[in-house]
């Protein structure tokens, strides 16, 4: 039995990815030691499934389909920057989301319930939709990074129509993860 490292996500259009790269470039100039997310890896995670038997992929895609039939396409937009945790030494640098977040939250909740029926555990904390831009590698001097995040907060603009969700395999390599889309399920 092969196991695949899987997650379900929403893709971004190329134009918005370019904006995120420009913000990363501005933050990179602070000198903070951050592992930045590659341009082609930007996504909004709906559910991390982890190491999953390959025979379960078909069931996951069917669950995604059941979930998507209850949702029409909706709009999201980029909205602000921040860090997790919000105070203290940052572990994640993120871009926020705005737009029809109530639909996004309902979609994620429905997906969570459908996958729970397949044996995937419910998430132990509330869903906090965001786009990860980077992860600080060490807890050195982060004040310049935090100051630049404050400066860059208002620079993100852009809206997109969410029309599908994607099942993605993440293969970990020494050079970083390789993402492969295994299935795309359209919203109704």
Residues annotated as part of the active site: 43, 130
Query: How many C-beta atoms lie closer than 10 Å to residue 10's C-beta?
Result: 21
- Sheet architecture: strand order including 74-84: 34-36, 131-136, 92-99, 74-84, 159-162
Residue 74 tokens, joined? 């909706």
**Distance separating alpha carbons of residues 107 and 165, to the nearest angstrom:** 10
Locate 37 and state its tokens: 């997310």
* Residue 22 CB contacts under 8 Å (≥ 6 apart), including other chains: 155
H helix or E strand, kind and range, residue 16: helix 14-28
* Cis bond before residue 79 (omega within 30° of 0): no
Distance CA 55, CA 89 (A): 41
């Amino acid at each position: 039995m092969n196991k695949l490292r899987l997650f379900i996500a929403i893709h971004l259009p190329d134009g918005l990815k370019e904006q995120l790269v420009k913000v990363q470039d501005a933050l990179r100039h602070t000198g903070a030691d951050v592992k930045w997310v590659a341009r082609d890896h930007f996504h909004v995670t709906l559910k991390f499934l982890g190491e999953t038997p390959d025979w379960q992929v078909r069931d996951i895609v069917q669950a995604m389909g059941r979930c998507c039939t209850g949702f029409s396409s909706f709009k999201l937009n980029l909205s602000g920057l921040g860090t997790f945790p919000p105070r203290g030494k940052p572990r994640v640098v993120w871009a926020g989301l705005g737009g029809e977040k109530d639909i996004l939250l309902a979609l994620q909740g429905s997906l969570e319930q459908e996958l729970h029926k397949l044996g995937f555990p419910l998430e132990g904390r509330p869903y906090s939709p965001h786009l990860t831009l980077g992860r600080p590698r060490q807890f050195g001097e982060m004040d310049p990074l935090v100051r630049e995040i404050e400066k860059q907060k208002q620079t993100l603009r852009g809206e997109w129509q969410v029309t599908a969700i994607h099942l993605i395999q993440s293969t970990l390599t020494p050079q970083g993860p390789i993402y492969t889309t295994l299935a795309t399920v359209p919203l109704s």
